[in-house]
A and B are shown apart, each in its own frame.
Chain A
Amino acid sequence: MSSALNFVLAVNPVPWARAQMAFTLAFHIVLVPLGVAWGFITLVANWRAIKKDDADALLLAQRWSKYMAVTFAVGAVTGTVLSFEFGLLWPRFMGRFGDAFGIPFAIEGLFFFLEAIFLAVYIYGWKRLKPWPHFWTGVPIVIAGIGGTVSVVAANAWMNEPAGFTLNSAGKVVDVDPWAVIFNKAMPLQSLHMLVAAYLVGGFLVASVYAFGMLRGRRDRYHRLGFLIPFTVAAIAMPIQMLVGDEMARWVFNNEPVKFAAIEMVPKTSTDVPETLFGHLDDKGEVVGGIPIPGLASILSDPADGTSTQIQGLDSFPKDERPTNAQVDVVHLAWDVMVGLGTFLFLLSLWYFASWVFKRRMPKSKLFLWIAAAAGVLSVVTLEAGWVVTEVGRQPWIVRNYMRVEDAATANTGVWVTFVAVVLVYAGLGVTVVLVLRQMSRRWREGDAEAEIDEGGPYGPRPTPSHEEPRAAVDREPVP
């Protein structure tokens, strides 16, 4: 190619590769909770529909499965992009460590197959399969979602806590222990934390749509149920997540001290370390700004020792083996966001449970609904923040203590071009998904109105809720 073109393309690929990886992962992760948890939420509605002959629940389950077909498709294609990117952006990482890092993905592939197959059967099976067999075709979706999440996160945990391989003198992986790769030290907690996150984010996201609906005056039973089922799932997951997160923080304290120093923004090793909210590091690496809560970081790190717990500071690690000051700022901010929003969502769940315990119904105030409507987006922000803590906190390593990010990257100087293309395409994709989902919902609402008019208006008797009715009603071929 011409030298002019080469000049234009001669851009250092590393920052662009990082940005592209981060962007595409951050996009994919939004769809993940829907793929993992929505299947479960739908099955709850489906179960209720069959057991209690509940027409509203049936309609919800059917509609949810249709929405899922769309979000799953987007999840699948964005996930495929990620698979390509491992090679396109990090060929030297994959070339060297694919032998070990790849193993969890082989297992993940198995779960994806299951998920894709049974999702197709479930979504397309409403019409002709009998209610219970149809319900059971949904169960593998839930299992596959859990298995898939655990295996991908196992791969990520391996990057934090590499294990199960031997390098020869040339740096080539010569011996692999697949078991030790999958069950690396970081895997159990990280997988669990992500799994619970998927359920709570999925629940809050779906519920938020119905919270909006209720705020707009659609307070019928259908909308209430559409809110209650997913919100209850999220509210149950929330306290569990607090416990797991707390455990995980202590695990990081004991096993990844550099990351922990970045999380808590601790420049110098000391005891009685304050928990600083916000703030950042200046040029000299001192903490400026922020609100310090005396001693709290030490207490949380090891409650047994309290304020006398010593936390290793950033200065006890070589400069080129820890995140830069700017990265520390990012990690610390992301940490504050995760913990702050996590606590907020936890309180929201408590409110919900308290109302059930004391009033035997969900909170009805506008304020609650507004917060619940926001909880969907807030929980996604929490999730993204958590990932930023993990990923940026690992810098400068791609495989901790074994390979640096810049040694892993491709030499292709055109990465900035693909980055720009990916951002444009995904921006369009994101907008379109939302528009399509909204259009589906609007169409169904209008369809509803028509149907009700057909039946003699909103005051007419509702048709007997039974499985046969909606099934028979949809028994039409799309093909002219």
Chain B
Amino acid sequence: MSDVVALILMVGITAYALFGGADFGAGFWDLTAGGTERGRTPRSVIAHSIGPVWEANHVWLIFCLVVLWTAFSEAFASITLTLFVPLSIAALGIVFRGSAFAFRKEVTRTSSQRNFGAAFASSSVIVPFCMGAVAGAIASGRVPAGGKAGDPWSSWINPTSILGGVLAVTVCAYLAAVYMVWDAKRLGDPGMVQYFRRRAIGSAVVTGVIALAGIVVLHDDAIYVFHGLTSRALPLVILSALCGIGSILLLLRSSHTGARLLAMGAVATVVVGWGVAQYPYILPTSMTLSAAAAPDATLWSVVVVFVIAALVILPSLGLLYYLDQRDLLGAPAVEPGLHDHG
């Protein structure tokens, strides 16, 4: 039973990585888009691409937290006890990010837009870094079970956490760039298609290189997960590498839909691979999934809620993405001339 719920948690984390991650990545490209004038066009593509859907994507995070604290409450307590600092930073970063993005769209003065934009963009980098560092802390066994706190600093400032943090940032950037190639094409802007395609390929290569280097780090610092990744989870790792390379090739050949799918595949397989690698532990190697699991009735209610969610939410999400991709969701403009200032 606890395995089923672990699978549900995995689905949530993967979805958050694929959709929420891309939103964070968009913030990364916003940050690096250059000065106000030079960055105007890419920024408008970015705003357009994440506008309608970011809140729905964000709910995946809530979903993961809730599943974790309901089904594996002791693991949740251990994680939050030890990783107080990065999680607090992430929470505040999320406040900055979400609100600044919403505000920026509504203000028209360039200087305010710039300030909100800066808050949005820099927190878009900090939050995934913290999340990646948290993942690294868990994977490297630095979160002890049983109500004891691990070291408040070295638990998340260590080789594996830094690897996790940097990888999270680059993965988000990669996903976002690949998606935005598509968005730019939809908007009929060939210049921007080129712009984001170059960045997609660049970030794919960087991510790949870091992932390769990461193997060494994991070998020295997170031996349990390293063994998992090189045995049980090896097929997933290989699949991920193939997807990543495939997406680069397709980007080079301007086959954008395929590139998008492969990019998603590359990221999803890495996330799932991490889960498989640390199985059966939720906190390697001090707490197994089954030891952390709530009583069966609780697990069942999580499963039931998930099934209802699959029946109700997935079609709704499908509707949202469909309308969004078909451009049936415009900017929520009310008055004429709204977008002419600023």
User: A residues touching B (Cβ–Cβ < 8 Å)?
Assistant: 1, 59, 62-63, 65-66, 69-70, 72-74, 76-81, 83-88, 91-92, 94-100, 102-103, 105-110, 112-114, 116-121, 123-129, 140, 173-178, 410-412, 414, 418, 421-422, 425-426, 429, 432-433, 436, 439-440, 443-444, 447-448, 450-451, 470, 473-480
- Interface pair B80/A91, CB less than 8 Å apart: yes
A187 to chain B, nearest CB (A): 16
Which residues in B have their C-beta under 8 angstroms from that of A129?
323, 328
- A443 to B336 Cα, complex, angstroms: 11
Q: A94-B73, A117-B313 are in contact. Are A110 and B305 (CB under 8 A)?
A: yes
Instruction: Say yes or no: is B206 at the interface (Cβ < 8 Å to chain A).
Output: no
Residues of A within 8 A of B95 (CB): 77-78, 80-81, 425-426, 429
Please state if A91 and B107 are interface contacts (CB–CB under 8 Å): no
Beta-carbon nearest neighbor of A112 in chain B: B59
Bound CA–CA A139/B70 (angstroms): 29
Q: Verify B294–A99 contact, CB threshold 8 A.
A: yes
16 new A-B contacts, CB < 8 A, other than A120-B56, A124-B329, A414-B84, are A65-B332, A80-B91, A95-B77, A99-B295, A109-B305, A117-B313, A121-B319, A174-B295, A411-B149, A425-B92, A443-B108, A443-B341, A444-B335, A447-B336, A450-B337, A480-B41
Shortest Cβ gap from A135 to chain B (Å): 15
- How far is the CB of B189 from the nearest CB of chain A, in Å? 8
Interface size on B, as a range, is 35 or more
Q: Given that A65-B332, A113-B59 are known contacts, is A478 also in contact with B297, CB under 8 Å in the complex? A: no
Query: With a CB–CB cut-off of 8 A, which chain A residues contact B327?
Result: 128
Whether B48 and A121, one on each chain, are in contact in the complex, defined by CB atoms closer than 8 angstroms, is no
Q: How far is the CA of A140 from the CA of B312 in the complex (A)?
A: 11
Q: Does B88 contact A (CB under 8 A)?
A: yes
B294 with A429: CB separation less than 8 A: no
**CB < 8 Å neighbour of B332 from A69, A94, A118, A448:** A69
Sample 6 A-B pairs with CB under 8 A, ordered by A number. A62-B332, A69-B106, A83-B65, A117-B317, A119-B55, A410-B84
Q: Interface stretch among B27-35, B97-105, B162-170, B266-274?
A: B97-105
Given A76-B55, A99-B294: A436 touches B309 (CB 8 Å cut-off): no
Per-position 1/0 for B57-85, Cβ under 8 A of A: 01101110111011101101111110011
Q: Which B residue's beta carbon lies closest to that of A89?
A: B80
Minimum distance in angstroms from B262 CB to a CB of chain A = 26
Within the complex, the shortest CB–CB distance from A30 to chain B, in Å, comes to: 14
CA distance A407 to B296 in the complex (A): 26
Task: Judge whether B147 and A99 touch: CB under 8 Å.
Answer: no
Q: Is the CB of A178 within 8 A of B297?
A: yes
B330 contacts chain A at the CB level, 8 A cutoff: yes
CB-CB < 8 A to B53: which residues of A? 120
Question: Which of B90, B106, B302, B317 makes the CB contact (< 8 A) with A439?
Answer: B106
Q: Which residue of A lies closest to B303 (CB)?
A: A106
Q: Looking at the complex, which one of A85, A95, A414 makes contact with B147 (CB distance below 8 Å)?
A: A95
Cα separation A411 to B77 with both chains bound (whole Å): 12
Q: A98-B76, A425-B95 known; A106 and B66 CB under 8 Å?
A: yes
Whether the Cβ atoms of B333 and A83 lie closer than 8 Å is no
Which of A91, A112, A118, A178 contacts B62 (CB under 8 A)? A112
Given the complex, which residues of A lie within 8 Å of B84, measured CB to CB?
88, 410, 412, 414
